[in-house]
Amino acid sequence: MKKVTVQDQGLVEKTKCHAAAIGVAMKESVYPLTATVQYPRQRKKMPDNFRGYILFDPDKCINCWECAFICPANAIRMKEAPNKKYYPTIDYGKCIFCHFCIDSCTDSALRTTKIHDVAYKDMDEMVTLTEEMIEPPEIVREDTKLVEYQIDDKDLQITKTREVDNLFVDEVPPSVEIPVVSQCIDGASCIGCHVCEYVCGSGAISSSIANGVMNMAIDTDNCTGCGLCVKECTMQILKLVRK
């Protein structure tokens, strides 16, 4: 068996360490530094892409249903609005805050916020209707301090500033996706039903008839690459390709 002995650091070093420990103890008794955030009087600073309460902008929605299709928790139901379009509603009783819906939303009609503390009285209330998603929900704010954690190479630094955080992400950072546009890969198989033209929200697809021939065209400058026409084409002859 091998005996492990403590390394002798020498008297000077030992005294130094003890003095430092006493110093920290004295500082803590005067100005204690806790890692716990004193919510709700203090709030932790969240990153801009925090997955919180979801906001919706009907003007940007192109009615593609992509959010409802992708939601793994089946939390999104599309409901008909007075203008005959279908808009999402979210059941927060089911939502797992994965934000797939936001990621899938082609025109940023769905947006995240840093709000994570909405309270409901019962399950029914958690079904959030479209109109309740347009404006941020009412929350009680008692916070006066903003807590920020920073981890440097040695230690966890906690800074607390007298500041109230903005919980809305006003500017959605521009997407860094590869720009794509819709193109036809088999024009001869087109039946000329115009469904692509009807569904295109940006008017990029046009058609005209002359001398018994219908001419279809996609304006690649106007096409946003949302893929709605690709999904709706009954003959599956449209594809998204790199711009």
Partner 1 sequence: MHDADIKACEEVIKMATEAAESKWEIKVPDKPLKDKLYFENLKSVVIDTEICSRCLTCAAVCPGGIIVVGDKVDFPDYETKCLDCGACVRVCPRFVYEPLSGMGSSTAFIAGRSKRFAGQDGAMVTELIVSAMEMGIIDRGLFAGRNENWETEMFHVRDPEQLAITTLSGTKYTFADVLPELKKAVKFTKNGVGVVGTPCIVSGVRKLQQEYPIFREKVKLVVGLFCTENFHYSAISQYLRDKGVDFSKLVKTDITMGKFIATMTDSEVKFKVKALEEILPSGCNVCCDFTAVEADVSVGSVGSVPGYSTISVREAIAVKILDYIKEQGYAEFGEGDPGQLGFLVGHKKKRAENLKK
What separation in angstroms does the CA of 140 have from each of 41, 115, 132, 137?
Answer: 11, 11, 17, 10
Binding site partner of 184, from partner 1, ligand SF4, none, Cβ cut-off 5-8 A by kind: partner 1
Under rule CB under 6 A, residue 200 binds ligand SF4: no
DSSP 229: H
Q: What is the x/- site pattern for partner 1, positions 207-226, by CB under 8 A?
A: --x--xxxxxxxxx------
Binding site partner of 90, from ligand SF4, partner 1, none, Cβ cut-off 5-8 A by kind: ligand SF4
Give the nearest residue (CB) to ligand SF4: 95
Spatial neighbors of 241 by CB under 8 A, at least 6 apart, are: 180, 181, 182, 183
Q: How far is the CB of 84 from partner 1 (least distance, A)?
A: 15
**Residue of 97, 107, 132, 158 that binds ligand SF4 (CB under 6 A):** 97
On whether the CB atoms of residues 127 and 93 are closer than 8 A, the answer is yes
Q: What is the x/- site pattern for partner 1, positions 162-181, by CB under 8 A?
A: -------------------x
* SS3 call for 239: strand
Binding site partner of 192, from partner 1, ligand SF4, none, Cβ cut-off 5-8 A by kind: partner 1
Spatial neighbors of 185 by CB under 8 A, at least 6 apart, are: 237, 238, 239
Task: Name the residue among 234, 162, 225 with its Cα closest to residue 194.
Answer: 234
Interface with partner 1 (CB under 8 A): 181, 183-195, 209, 212-220, 234-237, 239, 241-242
